[in-house]
Chain A
C-alpha cells in the first residue's frame, strides 16, 4: 500500500491559526469587542440550534474555494492550469436558474448544470491534450467566452429563482449537523475524491504524468486521456461551486458569479502543497488552502477592508507565497544553507 493521500495541510492550517490569533489579538485591544463578545472574530452565536459568526462564515464561504481548489489540484499536478473555473461557475449557475425558473424539478436542473460544467471542462481538456494548446491559453478562451455564454443563457439578466431544494445547496443547515451545507459538500467532495484517488491507481498515474511526462509515456501511461479527465473534473467541481454561489443569493448572476476566483483557487492549490511544476499533489492541502484563502478574506472584512479592495492585500500575500515557493528561490536558499 502506497500512501497517496499525503497530508501537506500543515502549512495552510498554520496560516489559518495565525490569522485567528491575529484577529483575536486585535479584538482584545481596548475598545474592541473582547475575545468572544459580539462582533469579535471568535464570537459564536447560537440561535435555534444553528451556530453563526465569523468562523462559521469562513466555513460557509470557504467551501467555494475548497471545491475549486480540489478540482484544480489534479490539473496543476499534471503541469496544467485552469483559468476558466469562474466562468464555468457562472455557466452552471445560469443553467440551473433558467431551468428552475422554467419549471424543471431540482434534480433535472442540477444535473443539467453539472453536465454543462463537465462539458466545458472536457472542452478545455480536448484543447490541451488533443490539440496541444498551452493550458493557460485554452482555459483563457473559456474564461472570457464562458462569461459571454452565461450571459446568453440568461439573456444578460440576473435570474432569481425560488426553489427550496436548490436554495438548500447554499443556505441549508442540516439538523443532524448544523453547519453550512456548502462546507459539508466540500468535505464530502474531499472524502470522495481522496477515496477515488486512493482506491484506484489514478493518483499514481497523475503524479507520474506530472512528474516526468516523457517517462510516463514510455511506461505506457495514457497521458492524454488522463490530462483531459483532469480538466473535466475541474469543470465538475466548478459546476458544484457555481450551484452553491447561485443558491447563496437565490439567483444566477452571469456577470459576477465566480468572478476573480481563479487566482484564489490556484493559490489554495499551491499553498496546499501541490507545486505549479506538477508531479505531486495534495487534495487535503488544497482544501485547507481554500479555507485559508477565505480566512484571509474574512479577516479583511473583520478589519473593515471592503470586498472590492480585499484582493489587494490578498494578492500581496499570494505574491509572497509564490515567490517563496519558486524553484529559483528554493535553489538560492539551498545554496545559502550549504555555505
Chain B
C-alpha cells in the first residue's frame, strides 16, 4: 500500500489530458508546433501569467478572488520603468516594486479581514486604483533603458542542447514549485485550505483566520508584482495599459487546474497545467493565423464556464456531505 503518494485529484488528470490533447492537435495540424523550442517559448510567454496564477491559487483556495492581478502587473512594470528612468538600477527597482506589491496585498488582506467585505469588491477597487496609479506614473509605455537590460537580454536565457530556454520560464517553474511546497508542506498552506474549506470550523480549530487572510493576499500581491517584474524584463518596457483582462485568464487557469471556486480544494500543479492549457489555446489561435485574436478571451471565458459547471456537476454527483440537521 503506497499511501505516501498523495493521490492527484481527478481534475488535475483531466487538465493534463487536455493539455496533451491540445499539443497533439497542434502537432498534427502545424509543423514545428510541438517542437521543444516552441513549447519552451510557450512556457516563457506565459511565465508572468503563471506566476500571478500561483498567487491567485491561494486566494481562490481560501474562498476569495483577486481582480487586481492585471492592473498590479501593469503598475509594477510601469513603476520599474519609471524608477530606472530616474537612475535606479533595474534590480533595485524590481525589488522596490515587489515590496510594494506585497504591502498592497497585505493592506487588501487586512481590509477583507477587518471589514468583512466581499473580496471581489475590495480587489475591484484595487484594480482601478492600480490601473490609474500606473497612468499616474507614466501615461505612456516607457522603455527600460539600462546597460543591465542589454546584459540581461543576452544572459536572460539558458541553452539546453542548442535550444534556448528563456530564463523567465525557469522563474515560473521555480515559483510554482515553491508555491506547491508552501501549500502542501507548510502550516500556512494547510491553514489556507482550512479557511477555504470552512472559515468557522477553522476558527474553532485554532486557525488564526485573520493573519491567514493577510498572508494570502500578501502572497497574491507579491506574486502579481513578481509577474510584473517578469513582464517588464521580458518586454523591456512598462506600459500602463498592459495585461488588461489578465485577472480572468488567471482565474480561468486556476479553475481549469482543478481548484474549486468555492475554496478548500485545489493544487498549484493543476494551476500550472491550467496556465499552459490557456497558452496552448492562444498558440493554436496564433498558428491558425486567420482567427480573430478576440477568440482567445471568448475561449478563456467558455473554458472557465465549462470547468465551473463541471465542478458543480461533480459536487452534485458526490452529494453533499451529510450534516446533522435538527
Contacts and interface: CB of A to CB of B under 8 A. Distances in A.
Touching chains A and B, CB distance < 8 Å: yes
Interface of A: 81, 83, 127, 131-134, 136-137, 140-149, 151-152, 155-156, 260, 262-263, 266, 276, 306, 308-312, 314-316, 318-319, 322-323, 326-329
The prevalent SS among residues of B at the interface is helix
B42 interface: no
A71 B294 CA distance: 27
Contact of A144 (B122, B139, B245): B245
Contacts, number: 118
B125 interface: yes
Contact of B248 (A143, A260, A316): A143
Contact of B298 (A83, A149, A309): A149
B297 A132 contact: no
Interface string B271-310: 0000000000000000000001111111011101100110
Interface of B: 65, 67, 111, 114-118, 120-122, 124-129, 131-133, 135-136, 139, 240, 245, 248, 251, 261, 292-298, 300-302, 304-305, 308-309, 312
Contact of A141 (B128, B135, B293, B304): B304
B65 A136 contact: yes
Secondary structure of the A side of the interface?
A: helix
Given A144-B300, A148-B298, A329 B115 contact: yes
A258 to B, nearest CB: 13
Contacts of A144: 245, 248, 297, 300-301
B125 A309 contact: no
Nearest to A319: B125
A258 B253 CA distance: 26
A116 B278 CA distance: 28
B312 A132 contact: yes
Contacts of B261: 134, 137
B309 A131 contact: yes
Contacts of A318: 125, 128
A142 B301 contact: yes
Contacts of A329: 115
20 contacts: A137-B308, A140-B251, A141-B305, A144-B297, A145-B301, A146-B301, A147-B245, A148-B294, A148-B298, A149-B298, A151-B294, A262-B124, A263-B125, A266-B124, A276-B121, A309-B132, A309-B139, A312-B132, A315-B125, A323-B115
